[in-house]
Structure 1
Amino acid sequence: MFEEIYSPVQKIDAAPFSNLFVKRDDLIDPYISGNKWRKLKYILQKAKASSKTHLVTFGGAYSNHLVATAAAAARSGFKATAFVRGEEVKNEMLLICSLYGMELIFVDRERYKNKAELYADYFGSNSAAYFINEGGASAEAVMGCSEIITELTATYDHIFVAAGTGTTAAGLSKGIEEQGLKTKLHVVPVLKGGSFIADEISLYTEISNHLILHTDYHFGGYAKTTPELLAFIKRFTRETGILIDPVYTAKMFYSIFDLCAQNQIHSTDRILAIHTGGLLGLLGMKEKF
């Protein structure tokens, strides 16, 4: 179903670092991008093994997960439906979803909170339907994300990743534990009050002392930005040639530079940043630039 992967590790020249590397999951696919590819890999295998033909999932109007699910469904022979949070809108992301054949059902924010009830109301009697949680959060997604660690051919002092639901971080944590590595895993929640990410990770793997949460790099909350963050994106992209987005990866990369400035990590440490893709999220921020 997903047979080929292209996710090289690239060393980048960025002062003051001498050993800063990026795992380029953003290059895996333009639409089933980065960690979304990894999350969906085993979810779709399970759906197929269960003889399901209709994927049903959830997300906001600018959700990379919805685009990825729509593209993956079309390529793999599944029908797809998404419950979209909020009032009915049209944008570039939802256009791509629709072109891939995904049906969109807009629901108000209050009703959206109870996803299990929504699914039951619309698809409870549909034996072909398969529930995929928002962002793909599941044990299957964690297993897919853990493979990031097994693909690495070198070891690192630190691995950094941005976190929304915590699923990718859980996979990385699980992979580090299974490989017996001494690497520190730095998780950068992109939402306010991101300490809950530790609880989400603990649902899938034991929390160990290699995990470090940095909860002060949300820049106001999910999908929020500041002039400082936007300036960082422009400078980083211009100097490295690597595109990053304001919602996830920019906040992670910013944290690396800031933590080095605070001497919490050192410029000579071997550091790997996981580029989780999601660059289409820039479309929802275009007026900010």
Structure 2
Amino acid sequence: MLQLSNPYAPIEQVFLEQVAAKNISLFIKREDLSHPFISGNKWRKLKYHLLAAHAQKANLLVTYGGAYSNHLLATAAAGAKYGFKTHAFVRGQVETNMQLALCKAFGMNLQFVSREEYKQKDALFASYFGSNQLAYQVPEGGAGLHGELGVAESVKDWELSEELKTPTHVFTSVGTGSTMRGLLRGVLENKLATKVHGVVVLKGAEAMAAEFADFSADSFVLHHRFCGSGYAKWDEALLAFIQSFASSTGVLLDVVYEAKLMQGILTLIEEDYFAPGETVLAYHNGGLIGGLSAYQ
């Protein structure tokens, strides 16, 4: 049996004047502290994929991502840690950056493919690894049921915090939606009344609501107005917000996901979206290494 260590991801309260003025309690689930390279929701979403790969006696993890993908780095590091070789199909033209250099350092083989080829992931896997019984395909971002189950387990951590217990609202940033689905699954399994919120970082993704049709409509909210100019796009105002938040709390946020998440939460607090006395928990899902590109 593959032995996986439990991640260190404490819950910390955030003390800001604008939050206290509205009588709201704000907490952050520090998933970003779980591992230097397998950090945030990436560890959660890889856990059951690693167990499944081990169960089928695979020795190679094959996955997908962009050139700045935190998922690729997490898979490379996890593979090295738990005894798997790793291969990644990387979207787009060949390039070099710190993220990909770290992937190589952990032994990952990188294969760049065109954006058109990348859209046909199953065909890519079948073409290069279809006859390899020792290859295990990890969906982009660690998505799917295995990924959701790992995230759902984190809900049990809430009761370990004496100050938090059961939050009124829980927030996560949303790209593919698998982390939010995992939280919804965890809230449902633990029979909690917590409402799950997703701050969508993609522009024009309102149709994403259909991906949550199997959950009760009153159990979640998708917020689309905090995506800025779109995915992986930022401006000086967002960088200034990251600096202000870090200098006030000691918590660094990445530019792609978590800065937009926290900016959205603080905006909602300022707008009296929450009732006085309510508790808000935000998941910090890591992504800091990929986000360092904003400071180059």
TM-score (norm 1): 0.95
Tell me: CA distance 1:3–1:74, structure 2 relative to 1, closer, same or farther (3 Å).
Answer: same
- The answer on whether the counterparts of 2:45 and 2:148 sit within 8 Å (CA) in structure 1 is yes
Instruction: Note the C-alpha offset of 1:266.
Output: 4.2
The counterpart of 1:181, out of the listed 192, 195, 198, is: 192
How many residues in Structure 1 have an aligned counterpart in Structure 2? 285
**Residue 17 of structure 1 aligns to a residue in which SS?**
helix
Gapped runs of 5+ residues in structure 2? 160-164
**Residue 218 of structure 2 aligns to a residue in which SS?**
coil
Identical amino acids, percent of aligned pairs: 45
Paired residues for 1:184-203 under 5 Å: 184-202=195-213
Q: Which residue of 2 aligns with 1:258?
A: 267
The counterpart of 2:83, out of the listed 77, 95, 102, is: 77
Q: Which residue of 1 aligns with 2:225?
A: 216
- The answer on whether the counterparts of 1:17 and 1:267 sit within 8 Å (CA) in structure 2 is no
- The answer on whether the counterparts of 1:27 and 1:33 sit within 8 Å (CA) in structure 2 is yes
Matched letter for residue 260 of structure 1: I
**Residue 15 of structure 2 aligns to a residue in which SS?**
strand
Q: Which residue of 2 aligns with 1:16?
A: 18
Instruction: Note the C-alpha offset of 1:286.
Output: 1.6
Paired residues for 1:45-64 under 5 Å: 45-64=51-70
Tell me: CA distance 1:169–1:157, structure 2 relative to 1, closer, same or farther (3 Å).
Answer: same
Paired residues for 1:115-194 under 5 Å: 115-153=121-159, 154-194=165-205
**1:37 matched to 2:43:** yes
Matched letter for residue 5 of structure 1: P
Q: Which residue of 1 aligns with 2:114?
A: 108
Q: Which residue of 1 aligns with 2:6?
A: 4
User: Aligned partners of 1:22, 1:232: CA distance in 2, in Å?
Assistant: 17
- The answer on whether the counterparts of 1:55 and 1:80 sit within 8 Å (CA) in structure 2 is yes
**Residue 71 of structure 1 aligns to a residue in which SS?**
helix
User: Aligned partners of 1:209, 1:283: CA distance in 2, in Å?
Assistant: 37
**Residue 141 of structure 1 aligns to a residue in which SS?**
helix
Q: Which residue of 2 aligns with 1:206?
A: 215
Instruction: Note the C-alpha offset of 1:179.
Output: 1.5
Matched letter for residue 112 of structure 2: F
Instruction: Note the C-alpha offset of 1:267.
Output: 5.8
User: Aligned partners of 1:214, 1:224: CA distance in 2, in Å?
Assistant: 17
Instruction: Note the C-alpha offset of 1:85.
Output: 0.5
Instruction: Note the C-alpha offset of 1:178.
Output: 1.4
Matched letter for residue 9 of structure 1: I
- The answer on whether the counterparts of 1:260 and 1:266 sit within 8 Å (CA) in structure 2 is no
Gapped runs of 5+ residues in structure 1? none
User: Aligned partners of 1:169, 1:34: CA distance in 2, in Å?
Assistant: 13
- How large is the Cα RMSD of the aligned pairs? 1.3
**Residue 110 of structure 1 aligns to a residue in which SS?**
helix
Instruction: Note the C-alpha offset of 1:101.
Output: 0.3
Instruction: Note the C-alpha offset of 1:201.
Output: 3.6
The counterpart of 2:103, out of the listed 97, 106, 118, is: 97
- The answer on whether the counterparts of 2:254 and 2:292 sit within 8 Å (CA) in structure 1 is no
User: Aligned partners of 2:180, 2:138: CA distance in 1, in Å?
Assistant: 19
Matched letter for residue 13 of structure 1: F
TM-score (norm 2): 0.93
Tell me: CA distance 1:55–1:91, structure 2 relative to 1, closer, same or farther (3 Å).
Answer: same
**1:230 matched to 2:232:** no
The counterpart of 2:295, out of the listed 278, 286, 289, is: 286
The counterpart of 1:270, out of the listed 266, 275, 279, is: 279
Q: Deviations over 1:190-236 (max 9, x none)?
A: 1112334333344xx52441200101111111101122212111100
Q: Deviations over 1:163-192 (max 9, x none)?
A: 111000000001111122111111011111
Q: Which residue of 2 aligns with 1:246?
A: 255
User: Aligned partners of 1:263, 1:26: CA distance in 2, in Å?
Assistant: 28
Matched letter for residue 33 of structure 2: L
Instruction: Note the C-alpha offset of 1:129.
Output: 0.7
